[in-house]
Amino acid sequence: MTTQRTATLSVEGKTAELPVVSGTVGPDVIDIRSLYAKTGMFTFDPGFMSTAACKSAITYIDGDKGELLYRGYPIEQLAVNCDFLEVAYLIKNGELPNKTEYDEFTTRVKRHTMVHEQLSRFFQGFRRDAHPMAVLVGVVGALSAFYHDSLDINNPEHRMISGIRLIAKLPTIVAMTYKYGIGQPFMYPRNDLSYTANFMYMMFGTPCEKYEPNPVLVRALDRILILHADHEQNASTSTVRLAGSSGANPFACISSGIACLWGPAHGGANEACLNMLEQIGDVSHVNEYIKRAKDKNDSFKLMGFGHRVYKNFDPRAKLMQQTCQEVLGELGLENDRLFKLAIALEKIALEDDYFVSKKLYPNVDFYSGIVQRALGIPTQLFTGIFALARTVGWMAQWTEMIADPEQKIGRPRQLFTGAQTRDVVPLGQR
């Protein structure tokens, strides 16, 4: 990084020379860390519209070009050439694994797929009809009560083991959440299967009969996991980093990330999108809903459309659209009602001035919900699958932050708009 260039900011007679810093690719940043000391002023940027909150070498997005790179590799290449654990290794370690490294990594992950037996009893405390994300926030947070032996965040070995534990156990926990909700027995992991095939086995297998996951469907789910594995400093990742900046343990941090992901403007969008398609119900109602989405006085939005960063197209959406067709073809569901409705909605929105001028394109969630539904995953669990995949990115980002010597506790400031100092009048005199 170079810091020779500066930006000059003058305000009310005070001048601050601020270093301009370049990364390897992407916009330069103005380093404003000394701004308050030099001018007595803060910057104001709710929603982080112009603020880089950290340095990171993991994921790069060019929203205008519709480009997503994990450690420099385009998502389009990773999605067709690699499986999820290869991508997880890459995101975590910075390089793609060779065969030996891959075998060691997958063996290591598989050795941690079981959860502490007592954790299964922890589930009994939840109502059967609880939302899976509510259960996941609780159970993942509770992992810190089960794995004390890897909680020292200053110990690189502990950080590594916690990371492996989280990546390995999330599929087991997500599947247990599903099984608990439908009243079926928990299935122990099968380590002879791939990461994703084992997840499908734990979801859809029962002790009563043999279940062999369909390889086409396994590949589709694996692709969903790859596409959701990381997305630089999005809301949930920033939540994980902020929680971790205080020194909180990784299980607690990932639990906070899951809580943030749940929101419909973020990971909850795929569930919201499917619910929206159900609400629209039929191709004949599409125009009415497009009209509502455009109406400023109506809170209805086209879920699965728009993105804070991608203002051209979401590269993950393209891959997911293709996967959607493969899955529906494999299952003979090409005439699926919701898929047809989704296609009609997409076509009309892509031609509509409102959506075109605001650069609102389908995002990954628009299609991933349809694929997951076809795989037999209940709508309420969609965001849980997203959390499973994103755990890889969250852990890599958390580890990067902890290892960064410049890391400080995250402590934003504010523009105070409340009452100025005033005196308390005792209760009887008010």
Where does this chain bind ligand ACO (CB under 6 A)? 265-267, 269, 293, 301-308, 358, 360, 363-365
Give the amino acid at 396: A
Least Å from the CB of residue 121 to ligand ACO: 34
Kindly report the backbone phi and psi dihedral angles of residue 18, in degrees, each rounded to the nearest multiple of 5, phi listed first. Answer: -115, 130
- Rounded to whole angstroms, how far apart are CA atoms 250 and 253? 5
Least Å from the CB of residue 194 to ligand ACO: 24
Least Å from the CB of residue 324 to ligand ACO: 16
Sheet-wide strand order for 14-21: 6-11, 14-21, 29-30
- Report the residue number, 264 or 410, with the smaller CB distance to ligand ACO: 264
- Rounded to whole angstroms, how far apart are CA atoms 9 and 239? 30
- Report the residue number, 27 or 405, with the smaller CB distance to ligand ACO: 27
- Report the residue number, 363 or 380, with the smaller CB distance to ligand ACO: 363
Residue nearest ligand ACO, CB atom distance: 306
Least Å from the CB of residue 27 to ligand ACO: 17
Least Å from the CB of residue 230 to ligand ACO: 11
- Report the residue number, 265 or 403, with the smaller CB distance to ligand ACO: 265
Active site residue 307: yes
Which residue among 307, 336, 353, 404 is the active-site one? 307
Least Å from the CB of residue 137 to ligand ACO: 17
- Report the residue number, 135 or 269, with the smaller CB distance to ligand ACO: 269
- Rounded to whole angstroms, how far apart are CA atoms 332 and 402? 48
- Rounded to whole angstroms, how far apart are CA atoms 173 and 384? 10
> Within 10 A of 303 (CB to CB), how many other CB atoms are there?
24
- Report the residue number, 92 or 228, with the smaller CB distance to ligand ACO: 228
CA distances from 382 to 203, 231, 369 (A): 13, 17, 7
User: Is the CB of residue 250 less than 8 Å from the CB of residue 395?
Assistant: yes
Least Å from the CB of residue 361 to ligand ACO: 10
- Report the residue number, 45 or 334, with the smaller CB distance to ligand ACO: 45
User: Is the CB of residue 112 less than 8 Å from the CB of residue 216?
Assistant: no
Catalytic residues: 307, 365
